[in-house]
Amino acid sequence: MLLLCNLTAGITVDKRQDHPVVGRFAPSPTGALHTGSLVAAVGSYLMAKQAGGRWLLRLDDLDKQRQVPGMADDIMRTLESFGLLWDGKVACQSRHLEAYRQAFEALQQKGVIYPCYCSRKEIAGSASAPHHEDDCIPYPGTCRGGISGGVKGASSVRSWRVIVPEEEICFSDLRKGRICQKLPIISGDFVLKRGNGEFAYQLAVVVDDYLTGVNQVVRGEDLLVSTPRQIYLQRLLGFPQPDYCHLPLVAGPDGSKLSKRDHLVSHQLGNVAGREQSLLVTALRFLSLTPPTELWGDSCGTILQWSVTHFHPLRP
């Protein structure tokens, strides 16, 4: 694993210009993989390998309360059964807490973070409407100017938020093209750290990708709305911006996004053994790839080798 953060000297900027593609798959051990997450894993694997790069596995295990015992191991065994073999050691968010702290303190020194005393209920009551894309309620900036009179002490801090800019954050998605977003409208000043000391997803994922040298992020379209927030943090921290590619979502019969309970793909549940090739071909077909029928009886590794040379994210 490329360790780009010197924990004794602070976070440093990766100044390498020419480096191979490093992609990743980052599931949370809060439930088994499902068909949608398998598609995301396959898509990210194919893009990294097609470029001759590395494909990393990270377990997003910050949310301890929602984790399911044994699920991290199940996810790894399931990926292996499909021939999705990662490069290097498995990374875990729970091992990066010191790096999150350093990044948070660096932003504090920049003067772009402030304490917020508002509850979620208070924010919901003052905001115009939730943005259902990622269940984000735009924060109206109530505490941005501070709390006058010292009415509320540090013990009442519910979160720490970063001040967002008025100008649009834009980037070029490898599949969807140019995307622009005004953060004050979508999220407002968003949370980086909760009152209980836990670091929020947006900060964690930005630091995680930097620490492991990830420069290509391929994931589901449901996370597209979060990307401008992450790019904004990368700019504040001086981190290089990865290339992004957001794949179409696998939907349920009613057109909704698959949940952790839908179409599970789990080594532990025993619903993978003997079906690996057919499930892999199904995921590839969703990505507009149809391996020759003579390959279907071969190993998943052989099917993936064919797919690496034929995959293109823009294929309809």
Q: Read off the pLDDT of each residue in 171-197 and give the average, rounded to a whole number.
A: 95
Residues of the chain above pLDDT 70, percent:
84
Within 89-228, strands assigned E span 91-92, 113-116, 159-162, 169-173, 177-181, 191-194, 216-220
Specify the 3-state DSSP secondary structure of 39: helix
CATH of the domain at 137: 3.90.800.10
Report pLDDT for 207: 98
Same domain, 119 and 74: no
First-last CA distance in the chain: 34
CA distances from 101 to 54, 199, 213, 296 (A): 28, 8, 19, 48
Taking each helix axis as running N to C, give the angle between helix 97-110 and helix 227-237, from 0 to 180 degrees, rounded to the nearest 10: 70
Same domain, 91 and 234: yes
Same domain, 298 and 168: no
pLDDT above 90 for 239: yes
User: 63 lies in a domain?
Assistant: yes
CA distances from 164 to 39, 117, 148, 241, 295 (A): 33, 18, 22, 18, 50
Q: What angle do CA 172, 173, 177 make, to 5 degrees?
A: 75
Same domain, 270 and 150: no
- Domain ranges, residue 127: 111-194
| Separate counts of helices (H) and strands (E) for the chain | 9, 14
Q: Domains in the chain: how many in total?
A: 2
Q: Read off the pLDDT of each residue in 284-301 and give the average, rounded to a whole number.
A: 93
User: 58 lies in a domain?
Assistant: yes
Pick the closest to residue 228 from 188, 269, 278 (CA basis): 188
Same domain, 86 and 216: yes
Q: Report the DSSP beta bridge partners of residue 265.
A: 33
The overall average pLDDT reported for the chain is 86
Report pLDDT for 63: 86
pLDDT above 90 for 150: no
User: 105 lies in a domain?
Assistant: no
Same domain, 71 and 119: no
pLDDT digits (tens, 9 = 90+) for 241-275: 999 999 998 875 555 555 555 578 887 877 788 89
Same domain, 209 and 298: yes
Same domain, 83 and 208: yes
